[in-house]
Amino acid sequence: MSRTLISPFYQFCLLLVLSVALLILDNKTELFQPVKTVGAIMRQPFELGGRIQSEIPVVAELFQDKTTMQEQIRNLETENMVLRVQIQQYEAVKQENERLSRLLSIPVQNPGELLLVNIIKAQGYPYNQQIVIDQGFESGVYVGQPAVSDNGVIGQVTEVGFQRSVVMLISHVTQGLPVQVVRNSLLTIGVGTGISGQIRLPYLELEADIRVGDELITSGMGGHFAAGYPVGTVTEVLKDTTRPFLQVSAETAVNVGYVKNVLLLWTSDPEQGGESGREEIDDGE
């Protein structure tokens, strides 16, 4: 290794200028998009550790007690039975709803195709609100595609590789999601805070009818998400009369740290599937 003649301070200044140029170019332009794709490929060998980790419970299952297994199967069978009965009612309600919607000439939203994917990496850093999943354009994943879990909305796909995609969580600061309060159908927009598991509702007027504990679901207005997926629960409502809007925070329904599987949704409406850019909300405060 050669000893450079420039003093460490100037070396640092050189690197500082380089870094700032990179930061600005990466933030303001799409110039480095290919680099991100390369990065997603380069990650793969390093993800080995994480993959072995996720296999440990599977291996542990092999050594499980027979009676515990039987117990589990019995529980699952019971649960399955209950769900089957519930789904019968659901089918009836759905058909009735479709019939009523047609009568009122409201377009019917059908749930489209689903794909169960695995999380490879949840959040590189606590403030990096994204997860990497193990499916890419090979299986038809597209940018803007909604991702949900059994508890509710997770986020949307923002980068697609061959067998890897990045899902940005709804708690990421660049994310905005049209939501609806279940109790009174109040429509508003949920915006990410950058804090894991937290969103805020910055555009509610001071008189808006919202309380702590209100359930939020997707309203289906943005076009990406079909209506009705759980988003979160309101945890705090602050009324500051010097500000034009209420300060409302909500806890997301899904805690990504504890989620193992993610469902990707394809809307059955062909106009909505495919090309749709990343939805960004300008924070107009």
Partner 1 sequence: MANDAASGKRSEIAIMVTVLVAVLLSMLNYHPSIQSMIPNWVLLIVIYWCLATPDQFSMFTAWGIGLFLDILDLAILGQHALSFALAALIVSAVSSRALHYSLWLQCLFVMGISILVIGLEIWINHLAFGYEISTLNWQSGVVAGLIWPAIRTILNKVSRNPDSRSD
Residues making contact with partner 1 (CB under 8 A): 1, 3-4, 8-9, 11-12, 15-16, 18-23, 25-27, 32, 35-36, 38-40, 42-43, 46-50, 53-54, 121-128, 130, 132, 159, 166, 172-174, 193-196, 255, 257-258, 283
Quote the least distance from Cβ 261 to partner 1, whole Å.
Answer: 14
- Beta strands at 130-133 and 113-122: parallel, antiparallel or unpaired: antiparallel
Quote the least distance from Cβ 159 to partner 1, whole Å.
Answer: 7
Give per-residue burial for 244-269: e unless 16+ CB within 10 Å, then b.
ebbebbbbbbbebeeeeebebbbbee
Is the CB of 43 or the CB of 183 nearer to partner 1? 43
Is the CB of 63 or the CB of 258 nearer to partner 1? 258
Quote the least distance from Cβ 150 to partner 1, whole Å.
Answer: 17
Residue 173 near residue 198 (C-beta atoms within 8 A):
no
Q: What distances in angstroms separate CA 236 from CA 152, 239, 249, one per listed residue?
A: 20, 10, 5
Q: In whole angstroms, what is the distance from residue 49 CA to residue 44 CA? A: 10
Torsion angle, alpha carbons of 43, 48, 54, 57, to 10: 180
Amino acid sitting at position 118: N
Is the CB of 27 or the CB of 105 nearer to partner 1? 27
Quote the least distance from Cβ 54 to partner 1, whole Å.
Answer: 7
Q: How many CB atoms lie within 10 A of CB 174?
A: 15
Tell me which residue of 183, 175, 155, 185 sits closest to 167, measured CA to CA: 155
Is the CB of 21 or the CB of 81 nearer to partner 1? 21
Quote the least distance from Cβ 195 to partner 1, whole Å.
Answer: 6
Tell me which residue of 253, 197, 248, 251 sits closest to 230, measured CA to CA: 253
Is the CB of 13 or the CB of 227 nearer to partner 1? 13
DSSP class of residue 257 equals: G
Q: Among the residues of the chain, which ranges form H helices?
A: 8-28, 33-46, 48-62, 66-103
Is the CB of 6 or the CB of 87 nearer to partner 1? 6
Quote the least distance from Cβ 114 to partner 1, whole Å.
Answer: 24
The residue count for the chain? 285
Is the CB of 9 or the CB of 63 nearer to partner 1? 9
Q: How many CB atoms lie within 10 A of CB 183?
A: 14
Quote the least distance from Cβ 245 to partner 1, whole Å.
Answer: 17
